Structure 1
Amino acid sequence: MNITPTCVSIIFDNFTKEKRKEDSLGMEDINHNNHNTKTGIFKKNLGALYVVIVGIIFFFLIYRNQAVKGVLTALYSALKPVLTGLIIAFLINPLVMLLERTLLRGRFLVKKETASPKAKKAARGISIFLALFLMISTIILLFNLVIPQVIASIQGVISEFPGYVDTAIENAQTFADKNPIVSEGFLTLAQEFTEKLSHWLTTDFAERISSMAGILASGLMGVLGILYNLIVGIILSIYLLSGKERFLGSFKKATYALLDHRRADFFVKTMRRVNYIFSAAIIGKILDSIIIGLLCFIASGILGIFFSAIAKYSLLVSVIVGVTNVIPFFGPYIGGIPSTLLIMFVNPVHGLIFGAFLILLQQFDCNFLDPRMVGGRVGLPAFWSIFACLVGGSLFGFYGFILSVPSFAVFYYLLKTFVEERLKSKKLPVNTIDYMEQN
């Protein structure tokens, strides 16, 4: 076979081109690997930089604790009207939605199947007005009817408490005389405790009540500040409720602009879950406590027909039971035990009867009313709810008791979602029962 010089030249040129192509691809792979290596090193260094920055901020927050606290206090004071408006809007939003649906579906403003934008706007405005009117009317009614009677009952308890203590000591002494087994030291201890409690109620507590009343009476600027925050908060709540769809839409748009689509979807879903948890835990619990307080007042009035000691403090104990019922788990004990003891000081038998009634009322609440008002929508196991109440109450007091359960429920939901997503990525089961060891 004859190979001409032209054919040899063509073959050599093709071979040279292929070689150059392979060399070029090899250099691209090397450059790509070098780029990945540099990117990995940059990410590691960036992560270390984040850790250093967070450490510096944490050290500054601890070292400059008073300065940070002052800034936060000033910021909180400035934002009080806004926070008040957000709280009012959050609390009355379910009532506004209920009234709005009633006006639209009940054909009060709409004669057609589909409501026009003008009818929707009118329904929203009327619903907001009615909800605020009901809220303000309820507050005024409480101050005019309930609060004075509660204060009068507290003053009566303070003035009559020494007599209750003497009666209790006499009954205990009579019981001890009939039962010599009872330790004399126990009686001495009980007497000392009741005497100290009586002295505290009649002197220190009464003086503090008087001084607090004087401070409240003279603190005109404080009262004006509260009224200012309340009025501005109501105005802001009207704007928030009127344009809540636009506000939420703007927030959602910003979320998708700042995050990638997957993370934005997760964030929006999480915020919906947070709103659902807080609505169920706070608004549902408030409604549940109002119903329990009303039922306690009605039943106490009926029992008061037969037992005078219950009738004497029916309003006071109903307010105590209703208010403390807002606190999860511990609320019934915090309100029920002092209320029962208060009536027992007047008449031990009547107090025991009232205590038995409270047990039945709380059983009704736990097994029937609370599951329907709050139910399992919070999604937090009982152990973690008690844990959250203990920690939140010890750190933040009364507000910690109320907000600890929904806050911890949000954290629990986020942690549970993260764990389940990690398990799914590893193709592992997500049900806890699959990891339980059988005895």
Structure 2
Amino acid sequence: MYRIRDWFDEKITAKRLIPVLVVLLVVYLLNLTWPVWNTAYVLLMRILKPFIIGFGIAYILRPVTLFFEKYKIKPAISVPLTLLGFIFILVLLFSSIIPTLYEDISVLFSTSVDGVQKLFREYQMWNNGTSEPWVTDIFNQVINVLKGLIDSIPSLPALVSQFVGQFFSILTTALFSFIIGMYFIFDYERVTRGVVNMAHKVSPRLSASIIVINRAVLGYLRTLIFIMTITCVEYGLIYTLVGHPYALVLGVLTALGLLIPYIGPTVVHVFGVLTALTLPMPRVITLTIALMVMSQVDGYLISPMVYSKRDKVDPISSLFVFFAGSVLFGFVGILLSMPTYFAIRAVRDLKRNNWQL
């Protein structure tokens, strides 16, 4: 008892309690005035959104402009060409490819219901026409979940009507974003140098952190794009060889699943097998074996060859960042979760290196 009292007397001092009380007071005041701060945040994000999107466009297209610079092509030519190519790809995606994929994904979920029902019928035949109560409960739960997913997916006409309703707002933001992005690309070196210099005036550690974050995120994005291309081709080819009707969609979804480490590709594989149950059973078995083999090849051969040592992902930490991002910021949080993970890890490694680049 005396030891506990002595520990409290030693550790809990006024010098340590005052910062805690100040933080609690700030949290309490923020809670009282939250509507005001929330309104200010919404207005600020409306103002900054074109600049954030514009810088994102410049950040993504910067490697393309550097490629042109290697061949002595002037920025006055390379930047407009790069932006026109980017706009052409976006128009192609939103006018033809994405609507087709969207419809195919909707049908894919419906086909997965048929696959689960066929699997349940096969189980009943194997079990002399009956099923255990717990198996029936699991089957009903899975069917309800899949039907809930199908019902939650809005139809393409509904999405188009929503888009038309917000057309002018989206168009205005897009135009400003592209114009700002073009200026950012032209002045990319000056802007980034100014940001780093300003950060260095605040703290040398802050400027060093920005530099290592940029390196880590760029390395991750380059590697991700490369391995997503490989994944899309190899799995699309596997599904095509077994005669799966949605081979292209599943190849694209497997590649996109890499945005969610470990979980994403596995979920797509499960859907691939479920939707293949409408095929002859030898093909289903062949597909299952091929997916298991290719998962091992990806994990132990392709990924180590593509990913450098600094790009390797820790399962627990990355999944924590992913779920935290999805809970806090939804779909945007999912997209930014892995870059955030690499940014945090880069700053941590910099700190361990005594803030030396």
Q: Post-superposition shift, 1:314?
A: 0.8
- Does residue 321 of structure 1 match 2:254? yes
Give the Cα separation in 2 of the matches to 1:253 and 1:161: 54
Counterpart amino acid of 1:140? V
- Does residue 75 of structure 1 match 2:8? no
Q: TM-score, normalized by length of structure 1?
A: 0.66
Q: Post-superposition shift, 1:225?
A: 2.1
Q: How does 1:150-299 map to 2 (within 5 A)?
A: 150-157=101-108, 163-164=114-115, 166-177=117-128, 184-193=132-141, 196-197=144-145, 200=148, 204-205=151-152, 209-210=154-155, 213-214=157-158, 216-256=160-200, 258-259=201-202, 263-264=203-204, 266-299=205-238
- Does residue 61 of structure 1 match 2:26? no
> Structure 1 pair 412/150, CA: closer, same or farther in 2 (3 Å)?
closer
Give the Cα separation in 2 of the matches to 1:330 and 1:165: 20
- Does residue 149 of structure 1 match 2:100? yes
Q: Post-superposition shift, 1:129?
A: 2.9
Q: Which runs of 5+ in 2 are unaligned?
A: 1-13
Counterpart amino acid of 1:94? P
Out of 279-288 and 45-54, give the one that drifted further. 45-54
Secondary structure in structure 1 of the residue aligned to 2:166 = helix
Counterpart amino acid of 1:170? R
Give the Cα separation in 2 of the matches to 1:149 and 1:273: 40
The answer to whether the Cα contact below 8 Å between 1:81 and 1:233 also exists between their aligned partners in 2 is yes
Q: Post-superposition shift, 1:271?
A: 1.3
Give the Cα separation in 2 of the matches to 1:162 and 1:47: 59
Counterpart amino acid of 1:209? P
> Structure 1 pair 367/94, CA: closer, same or farther in 2 (3 Å)?
farther
Q: TM-score, normalized by length of structure 2?
A: 0.79
State how many pairs are aligned. Answer: 343
The match for 1:334 among 267, 290, 298 is 267
Q: Post-superposition shift, 1:346?
A: 4.2
Q: Which protein is bigger by CA-based radius of gyration?
A: 1
Residue in structure 1 matched with residue 10 of structure 2 by the alignment: none
Residue in structure 2 matched with residue 431 of structure 1 by the alignment: none
> Structure 1 pair 295/223, CA: closer, same or farther in 2 (3 Å)?
farther
The answer to whether the Cα contact below 8 Å between 1:289 and 1:326 also exists between their aligned partners in 2 is no
> Structure 1 pair 162/373, CA: closer, same or farther in 2 (3 Å)?
closer
- Does residue 389 of structure 1 match 2:322? yes
Give the Cα separation in 1 of the matches to 2:143 and 2:196: 62
Give the Cα separation in 1 of the matches to 2:149 and 2:323: 28
Give the Cα separation in 2 of the matches to 1:161 and 1:339: 8
Residue in structure 2 matched with residue 129 of structure 1 by the alignment: 80
Secondary structure in structure 1 of the residue aligned to 2:170 = helix
Q: Post-superposition shift, 1:398?
A: 4.1
Give the Cα separation in 2 of the matches to 1:160 and 1:188: 20
Out of 266-275 and 141-150, give the one that drifted further. 141-150
> Structure 1 pair 135/361, CA: closer, same or farther in 2 (3 Å)?
farther
Give the Cα separation in 1 of the matches to 2:64 and 2:24: 45
> Structure 1 pair 376/387, CA: closer, same or farther in 2 (3 Å)?
farther
Q: Post-superposition shift, 1:276?
A: 0.8
Counterpart amino acid of 1:297? G
Q: Post-superposition shift, 1:241?
A: 1.2
Give the Cα separation in 1 of the matches to 2:342 and 2:142: 41
Residue in structure 2 matched with residue 350 of structure 1 by the alignment: 283
Secondary structure in structure 2 of the residue aligned to 1:141 = helix
Counterpart amino acid of 1:293? C
Q: Post-superposition shift, 1:369?
A: 4.2
Give the Cα separation in 2 of the matches to 1:249 and 1:198: 50
CA RMSD of aligned residues (A): 3.6
Q: Which runs of 5+ in 1 are unaligned?
A: 1-44, 110-121, 425-439
The answer to whether the Cα contact below 8 Å between 2:321 and 2:337 also exists between their aligned partners in 1 is yes
Q: Post-superposition shift, 1:166?
A: 4.6
- Identity score, percent: 19
The answer to whether the Cα contact below 8 Å between 1:280 and 1:377 also exists between their aligned partners in 2 is no
> Structure 1 pair 238/167, CA: closer, same or farther in 2 (3 Å)?
same
Q: Post-superposition shift, 1:85?
A: 0.5
Larger relative contact order (C-alpha < 8 A, sep ≥ 6)?
A: 2
Counterpart amino acid of 1:278? V
> Structure 1 pair 233/100, CA: closer, same or farther in 2 (3 Å)?
same
The answer to whether the Cα contact below 8 Å between 1:86 and 1:237 also exists between their aligned partners in 2 is yes
Give the Cα separation in 2 of the matches to 1:189 and 1:407: 40
